[in-house]
Amino acid sequence: MTILIPAYEPDERLLDLIVQLKDYPLGPIILVDDGSGLAYRGIFGRAAALGCTVLTHEVNLGKGHALKTGFRHIREAGLTGNVICADSDGQHLPHDIKRIAETLLLQNKPGIVLGSRRFTGTIPARSRFGNSVTRAVFSLTTGTKIYDTQTGLRGFSYKVLDWLIRIPGERFEYEMNMLLTAHKEGYTITEEYIDTVYLEDNKSSHFRPLIDSFRIYLPILMFSTSSLVSALLDFTLLFLFQSLTHNLFLAVAAARLCSSVFNYSVNRKYVFSGGKKSRLQSLPKYFSLVILVLMFNYGLLYFYNEKLIIPLAAAKIMTEVSIFLFSYWAQRRFVY
């Protein structure tokens, strides 16, 4: 078992954690100094004196990059046990780290164990709100419920290290990308509830609410943009083909076919670029989904426009909103 701790400008709490972990002989402790600078060399020097391996970035490269540096070192050093990642700010207690290690040992196949916080008691507003929003968006877009998507306490089987190193993302978005791709790769996600600890209103956190939230939500934002442009194209073509054919079904089918070709090309190249499936694998699945969505599209549009007597423009907007989340989930899970 190896403990991996990425650290940027840590304080005495990092040293306290290391000392406490000595009471739980889980294995070697590896620290990644992510460009903290000369002012923090003393802390890392004391950590090394306590028996930790310290890897150093000369400049700050981000939490995702720091974790990958640690994973590469573990692999190159020949450490073959499971890996537990924890934060350096004292939020993860030694007995909870030990629980994650024990849960990981009980798994029958490679996967991820998350130390999920309960968010009970006095929690900083930005932390409670941020996790609630991320949890809801993650659930709606992937169909997978995870209570704490932002926890830094995570356990991994050694067998998934190569996959972890390949996941895109250099900063906080890396941890979200990990969860987004886990099920696709066949890795199970297990949650083990831990104590929620926020010290001094979480002032030690280096999470930047605007920039880092944007990075976390970027895959979903990109999909939304692609879908919006495709919907506008579909919307325009629907009226064009309707005026030419005066047949609602033909107009819907032709508009959807044209917008789908555009949507597939954009999503494959930009949105789900990390996908493993080739064009020969993803294209048939995508257009099978198109047919399914087309049926939903026509059925909902017919219901809204013909049965509820809603104007075509409004009915089209309502239809697109209805199938948006289903389409994102299906494309990420099955197509790419």
Angle at alpha carbon of residue 279, lines to 325 and 322, rounded to 5°: 15
Q: How many Cα atoms within 13 Å fall on the side-chain side of residue 13?
A: 22
pLDDT tens string 235-253: 898 889 888 888 888 888 8
Q: What is the spatial distance between Cα 312 and Cα 318, in angstroms, rounded to a whole number?
A: 10
Average pLDDT over residues 60-66: 94
DSSP secondary structure letter of residue 202? G
| Sheet of 111-117, strand order | 53-57, 29-34, 2-7, 83-85, 154-156, 111-117, 188-194
Bridge partner residues of 111 (DSSP): 188
pLDDT tens string 124-142: 555 555 566 666 767 665 6
**DSSP one-letter string for 50-110:** TT-EEEEESS---HHHHHHHHHHHHHHTT--S-EEE--SSS-S-HHHHHHHHHHHHT-SSS
Residue positions counted in the chain:
336
Q: What is the spatial distance between Cα 100 and Cα 115, in angstroms, rounded to a whole number?
A: 7
| Domains along the sequence of the chain with CATH | 2-205 (3.90.550.10), 217-335 (no CATH)
Band the pLDDT of 110: cuts 50, 70, 90: confident
Structure-token match 């992510």, residue found: 34
Band the pLDDT of 260: cuts 50, 70, 90: confident
